[in-house]
Amino acid sequence: MELPEFETLRLERDGEHVLVVTLDRPAALNALNTQMGLEQHALWTRLTAEPGALRAVVLTGAGERAFSAGGDLKERDGMSDEAWRTQHEAFERCFVALIECPLPVIAAVNGHAYGGGLELALCCDFAYAAPEARFALSEVRLGIMPGGMGTQNLARAVGERRAKEMVLSARAIDARQALAWGLVNRVCEAGRVLPDALDAARAIAANAPLAVRQAKKSVHYGLDMDLLTGYRFEIEAYNRLVGTEDRREGVRAFNEKRTPRFRGR
């Protein structure tokens, strides 16, 4: 896939199979404005339809201060109700496109993730955090509430009671507490959050891409089902892999004691 060019996103390949996406508005703490919402929707939609050789994505923020400060309140200042709702619909499409992207997406939270910034991280499959990162859904301080799947994804990540504490108090937690609560998978050493996330992305990209995508789908959607229905969904996903070239290559490579050469078919 030829990488598109955006105003608010910076795209860089890491090898053939990994894409690094950087929220690139450092002067605004990578706040989510209308342009960024539209560009993210375009990116995640394209990666869904035409992933090409890509097998994993790392999402991070420019600079060291913030992953993303959330919605751009300077842009929103003075917006009419109608304009606000129209803008938010663009954000809604962005979040849905990200969470439904079949490629695994890892958040490398390099700094503070507030409001919509935390919601972006929560839409990723998992997250690593810099030690100085802080996390908050502080929308109720502005007379609104989380509207980027925050109440849904946060509760699924940390549990109902902890999610209510964060959302209703609007208070931030630090990276260590985020790790203890299950909001992030790892707190990295200083300066290591992007390299560590890339290491994880490369490990994912080394596996059979169709199998990875089916497994991601099974975990994600199975959690919304009862156990036996989720298991039936899992078996349907499993059976789609039996006839693939990658399945045959994986077994053949194992028996020949060599590294498999997966082709995504």
Residue 131 near residue 175, CB atoms below 8 Å: yes
Q: From 146, 108, 130, select the one nearest 23 (Cα to Cα).
A: 108
Do residues 202 and 15 make contact, with C-beta atoms less than 8 angstroms apart?
yes
Residue written as token pair 């129209």: 86
The DSSP line for 141-163 is GGT----SSHHHHHHHHH-HHHH
* Catalytic position from the list 2, 7, 100, 119: 119
The arithmetic mean of pLDDT across residues 105-110, rounded, is 98
pLDDT, tens only, 151-192? 999 999 999 999 999 999 999 999 999 999 999 999 999 999
Pull the structure tokens for residue 91: 């954000």
pLDDT the model gives residue 80: 94
- Listed by start position, the domains of the chain span 9-205, 209-255
- 79: Cβ–Cβ under 8 A, 6 or more apart, which residues? 87
- Stated as kind and residue range, the H or E segment containing 59 is strand 56-61
Contact 29, 73 (CB under 8 A): no
Model pLDDT for residues 41-90, shown as the tens digit of each residue: 999 999 999 999 999 999 999 998 999 999 998 989 898 999 999 999 99
pTM for this model (two decimals):
0.94
> What is the Cβ-side half-sphere exposure of residue 149, based on CA atoms within 13 angstroms?
21
Q: Which of these is catalytic: 139, 160, 189, 256? A: 139
Please compute the mean of the pLDDT values over residues 215-237 and round it to a whole number: 96
Q: Among 129, 125, 131, 133, which Cα is nearest to 156's? A: 125
- Give which of 90, 99, 222, 226 is closest to 150, Cα–Cα: 99
Whether 139 is a known active-site residue: answer: yes
Residue 223: the pLDDT is 93
Q: What pLDDT score does 3 carry?
A: 86
- The tokens describing 177, both together, are 């507490």
Nearest in space to 34 (alpha carbons), one of 80, 82, 99, 86: 86
Active site residue 7: no
Please provide the CATH number assigned to the domain covering 209-255: 1.10.12
pLDDT at res. 36: 96
State which CATH number among 2.120.10.30, 3.60.20.30, 1.10.3720.10, 3.90.226.10 fits the domain covering 9-205. 3.90.226.10
The 10s digit of each residue's pLDDT in 119-140 is: 999 999 999 999 999 999 999 9
Check residue 264 and give left, alpha or beta (phi > 0: left; psi -120 to 50: alpha): left
End-to-end CA, the chain: 17
